[in-house]
Structure 1
């Protein structure tokens, strides 16, 4: 008898060609089941059906096919253990040399619209993961292939090692297989977590896993001495993995980090208004709203043209020709928008090095934020709560006009995405000064006001956290600020509000903090 291979795959890419080489070049016999067996038989290849080999029919509508001692005994047998060999002989079990299995398309199924829970459950593979895990465990004695991309590598192994495979190759395939089954279970667990309701379950699960497949090896990380890769979660490309790059060099680690920060800011603004955000090192240097997209971009750029040089630009509307012309007047690293018309593409092509991306679903982002720490990681829900001015408290004698409220809302939205301690000065729906990441709020206030300069007269100030003392309020008033928005919650709130009244300011407490560390 020749060597025995078990083939049972959902993804039949390259299956027939691979099986033909196994049979014709290396003399394998093939065991198979279901649709895999039909595909091989249709191609004229000899196949032993699993039901024939085990003597047990497929039952429960195909739910039970390969869960049998003759299958798993052949997978798990150790060829250097006499007792295992005796057990094989006593039970008429042939040892397997190769197991080729991939899994039911669970993630592809749940990605479809209106999929029911019952439909999703039927795509949870049972026999496949069992065979993969058993095969990977016994890599010392057989090879497991969990992806069609490894077919040719396996054949080359056989050719280079006189019909055998190296231990190193088998071990590598085992590692890839365990990574696959881990990701598969993670997808299922995440799906069930998504079915939970806050009334009956915790907002975050008691177990949290993150799995991904390398999408691209990056040149380096934040610095040239740091290696980095870009991973895609899930089998369906979403987010930046689904973005269309129209032109420009490969994206870098820092590009992607900045792009995600830009995406988070631009999602604050609805499609009924043209908005632009320009970022450097994840902090906005210019954010603006305009009646047209080009106006929004020019306002954002002029807010801090020095910092905007080499920046990341996010737009909430499709790029038109006028905006494209404005974008080409300076050096930019990346531009992202939900679309780009043909004339705009031609104009942007003149700046071939700028990376231009189209991401139609800019508003769709992760529901959790994950940060790695020594010995573990932290998970929190994304800060995507929508601010409702109806819940704000106007705490000063001077009352804001509707126009002032709209301006304060704009500044509050931007402040949410500035590194803490965060201060943002705005006017005419444009940032004038940004104080980011300072160790004390006084420092952030000074930086934002200095950046705004004389334009701070008649402007508005937003703070991501409360004012512990009234000193920054007085500094803001001296610079010409007319209204302040902040969360409140300090033991000194009364002192701060008293100062605002003395200085004739409007002050609003939102009751919601937006720290961004």
Structure 2
């Protein structure tokens, strides 16, 4: 048997090669791998000795040769293939151990140039892997150092690698080369500043962890992260305490983080099942917590909390009394973290770049049966120049401040979404109803039930999409709401405007909606 070894990641390769030699397997090698093996006293044939052709073009061409690929692709079960090898004086190669130039590590380096990235695109490696994998019945192809032990165990016990293992290794090769090519294509797209949705969409992710289950216990799940520097995302967070994150934890925390990124002032966001349940802003982060907590003391139980300022001991003492699933902040005072770590089930995450927004051209993906719908993320909030007061009464400065606050929140409420706010605090949220008046009434009822019956007096209302009828204005008036912000654009806008004028409610159109289905 002969094995061709050429690896960028040299983890375990010396030990593996020694074992192969002890089993009587001849080794062919290239470049840095050949030098490494020779320095360790492992006998190996240099690739140029095999091909009779020197490595050239700074090592760009060394394995791209018929002697290599014929030795890999010849089907041992076909006499005509074997006769051709004999006529050409070519020997078979029975194992390929290859992993590729470190393209990912290269593009993740600070200040990497395009030329440097392109130079780290492997050509010969993928070609050998594909040749060997195509002929998996006869060639064992190893791309992952974690598979060395399996291959050695079978060689020692059975004198060969089983067909089932070869088929598994083949699958792994094409997953590896697909991932590699996708990284290259994605890098080039970004390098060209190409923001178009492509004709064919290929994406690649790396597994972070398997999960015990998905949304429900009967569903399998895993967490994958995008390849690249994704600062400010949950994939970049460091867990400091608690059990591993579940599927629902990650999904809900992501939603809470994206809402938090809309705020620059000290803000606390509490979420439950993907919807905000309490949001508070203030000059003091502890007061911001009080606002978020007081907004809905019931739903925050077992919820997700994100904070855009350091968690102090004073804040941690307040949080400790509440059962939370996940807490995310940019930093923690030492004493605060020690206190929170006494709650063994609380997942405490540190996300130093918590304020960094997503790339505006990032994709939002939704899997549907038989396909995928893709859009760029909803990165806009509103254009200030497009704000239009459509009622006789102009909102006060305080009402405008609260409407801007509520508009940030309602952007992340499932449609049909309504958010009520007063003094930079949500006082009622109505998510996900099948008609808008139900969402409005729900938000008002929750405010009275969870805070007090006067919670909506002097509050503002934000709606993620236009009012199809004036019934939402009627409900708002009955609750004492004094100002409304909504996209506008309904054929019945005038009905809502007229009703607002009748009740002295100020209404502002944004010209931008924020459906979240």
What's the TM-score bracket when you normalise by the shorter of the two chains?
over 0.9
Counterpart among 255, 270, 282 of residue 261 in structure 1: 255
Q: Could you tell me how far 1:429 is from its partner in structure 2?
A: 0.7
Q: Is the 8 A contact 1:193 1:205 kept in 2?
A: no
Aligned to 2:185: 189
Cα separation, 1, equivalents of 2:161 and 2:287:
63
TM-score, scaled relative to structure 1? 0.95
Cα separation, 2, equivalents of 1:392 and 1:203:
29
Q: Is the 8 A contact 2:108 2:228 kept in 1?
A: no
Name whichever of 237-246 and 301-310 sits farther off: 237-246
Cα separation, 1, equivalents of 2:257 and 2:238:
15
**Aligned-partner SS, 2:34:** helix
Counterpart among 59, 75, 78 of residue 78 in structure 1: 75
Q: Could you tell me how far 1:311 is from its partner in structure 2?
A: 0.4
Cα separation, 2, equivalents of 1:294 and 1:145:
55
Aligned to 2:205: 212
Whether 1:225 aligns to 2:221 is no
Name whichever of 429-438 and 222-231 sits farther off: 222-231
Counting matched residue pairs gives: 508
Aligned to 1:492: 492
Whether 1:330 aligns to 2:322 is yes
Residues 460-499 of structure 1: pairs in structure 2 closer than 5 A:
460-499=460-499
Aligned to 1:155: 152
Aligned to 1:511: 511
Name whichever of 27-36 and 416-425 sits farther off: 27-36
Q: Is the 8 A contact 1:274 1:296 kept in 2?
A: yes
**CA offsets per residue over residues 250-271 of structure 1, 9 Å max, x none?**
211111111111111111112x
**Aligned-partner SS, 1:452:** helix
Q: Could you tell me how far 1:308 is from its partner in structure 2?
A: 0.4
Cα separation, 2, equivalents of 1:379 and 1:316:
29
**Aligned-partner SS, 2:43:** coil
Q: Is the 8 A contact 2:238 2:349 kept in 1?
A: yes
TM-score, scaled relative to structure 2? 0.95
Q: Could you tell me how far 1:211 is from its partner in structure 2?
A: 2.3
Whether 1:317 aligns to 2:313 is no
**CA offsets per residue over residues 363-421 of structure 1, 9 Å max, x none?**
35461111111211111101112433233111122112333222111110110101000
Counterpart among 5, 8, 13 of residue 7 in structure 1: 5
**CA offsets per residue over residues 105-148 of structure 1, 9 Å max, x none?**
11221122232222211111111111111111111111111111
Cα pair distance change 1:237/1:177, threshold 3 Å: farther
Cα separation, 2, equivalents of 1:283 and 1:168:
47
Unaligned runs of 5+ in 2: 449-453
Cα separation, 1, equivalents of 2:325 and 2:75:
56
Q: Could you tell me how far 1:236 is from its partner in structure 2?
A: 6.9
**Aligned-partner SS, 1:153:** helix
Aligned to 1:132: 129
Residues 6-405 of structure 1: pairs in structure 2 closer than 5 A:
6-24=4-22, 26-161=23-158, 163-197=159-193, 203-234=196-227, 239-270=233-264, 273-362=265-354, 363-365=356-358, 367-405=362-400
Q: Could you tell me how far 1:7 is from its partner in structure 2?
A: 0.8
Unaligned runs of 5+ in 1: none
Cα separation, 2, equivalents of 1:72 and 1:93:
10
Q: Could you tell me how far 1:202 is from its partner in structure 2?
A: 5.4
Cα separation, 2, equivalents of 1:237 and 1:157:
40
Q: Could you tell me how far 1:45 is from its partner in structure 2?
A: 1.2
**CA offsets per residue over residues 153-188 of structure 1, 9 Å max, x none?**
211121232x21111111111111111111111111
Counterpart among 418, 423, 435 of residue 428 in structure 1: 423
Q: Is the 8 A contact 1:108 1:236 kept in 2?
A: no
Cα separation, 1, equivalents of 2:330 and 2:42:
49
Name whichever of 106-115 and 303-312 sits farther off: 106-115
Q: Could you tell me how far 1:237 is from its partner in structure 2?
A: 7.8
Q: CA RMSD in A?
A: 1.5
Q: Is the 8 A contact 1:216 1:230 kept in 2?
A: yes
Q: Is the 8 A contact 2:381 2:408 kept in 1?
A: no
Cα pair distance change 1:241/1:153, threshold 3 Å: farther
**CA offsets per residue over residues 195-239 of structure 1, 9 Å max, x none?**
334xxx552222212223332221111111111122233277864
Cα separation, 2, equivalents of 1:459 and 1:236:
41
**Aligned-partner SS, 1:36:** helix
Aligned to 2:459: 459
Cα separation, 2, equivalents of 1:435 and 1:306:
15
Cα separation, 2, equivalents of 1:510 and 1:364:
22
Q: Could you tell me how far 1:20 is from its partner in structure 2?
A: 1.3
Cα pair distance change 1:236/1:291, threshold 3 Å: closer
Q: Could you tell me how far 1:475 is from its partner in structure 2?
A: 1.2
Aligned to 2:409: 414
Cα pair distance change 1:105/1:237, threshold 3 Å: farther
